[in-house]
A and B are shown apart, each in its own frame.
Chain A
Amino acid sequence: MVHALEKVHRLLAPGGWLIDIHPTEQPPALEVRSGEQVTLAGWVHETDDYIEYAQASEALEAVRQRGLYDLEDARTFDFLTHAGSLSELLDHLSQEWKDAFIDERTAGKVEELLLSAEPDREVRIRETVNMARLRARRG
């Protein structure tokens, strides 16, 4: 990851900006919305992605310490993935997020919550994501 940041620094003009987007280490929340009501059903588990997210943060800190970049701004935002059913969501995860899984107990709770009589209902994943702006120093 440090190598990637070094390469990007080489490709950037002096004073150019680097915007990094990567998830926080917090596990993604699995929610069921039924009308206006949102219920936390559990969490999406990941095999080792959370380790990579921590390493990404450490790599950014390392290149700052080495004087390649200055941190100018940082914030978090919520990124939501919406699905009409648990099976749709599982299909999506199997194709796009292979390290993610939902345990049987949580899946059961999602199915139970989706049995609501409210026609406007969905299951969704809420990820908290880091975004940072860094400015490239002269090499």
Chain B
Amino acid sequence: MSVTLDPEQNEIEALMAMVPSWDGKRVFEVGCGNGRLSFRYAALAGEVEAIDPDEADIAAARSATPPELAGRVRFHAVRLEDFEPEASSPPFELALLSWSL
């Protein structure tokens, strides 16, 4: 048996109950790690910009991105204080601090 995290899905169930609507929302996730949580909600969102300072985790997240999410979920190896969205992009409608505060 390998180590498994939250197979009960308590975290994503709490998140689904906490967010009234994901429809088309532009989401910013801070502390995405290897995308463990990102992949569980991204299909419901419009687009996701997810950041984490750990380059190895971001590389893992990119390589694990399912084809159906490619282009809608972008992972960036950057710290929050250094992150700036593209000037032309609209503001985020939902921000997720994922065990990162």
Contact = CB atoms under 8 A, between A and B. Distances in A.
How many residues of A sit at the interface, in one of the four size bands? 35 or more
B87 interface: no
A21 B95 contact: no
A91 B32 CA distance: 22
Contacts of B3: 81-83, 88-89, 91-92
B16 to A, nearest CB: 11
How many residues of B sit at the interface, in one of the four size bands? 20 to 34
A108 interface: no
Interface of B: 1-8, 10-11, 13-15, 17-19, 28, 30, 80-81, 85, 90-101
- Main SS of chain B's interface residues? mixed
The 4 closest A-B pairs by CB, nearest first: A84-B1, A13-B91, A56-B101, A77-B14
A48 to B, nearest CB: 15
Given A4-B101, A83-B1, A11 B90 contact: no
A8 B7 contact: no
B93 A13 contact: yes
Contacts of B81: 3-4, 7
Contact of B99 (A12, A16, A23, A78): A23
A51 interface: no
- Most chain B beta-carbon neighbours within 10 Å: one of A3, A21, A82, A133: A21
Nearest to A15: B93
Contacts of B80: 4, 7-8
Interface in A63-95: 73, 75, 77-85, 88-89, 91-92
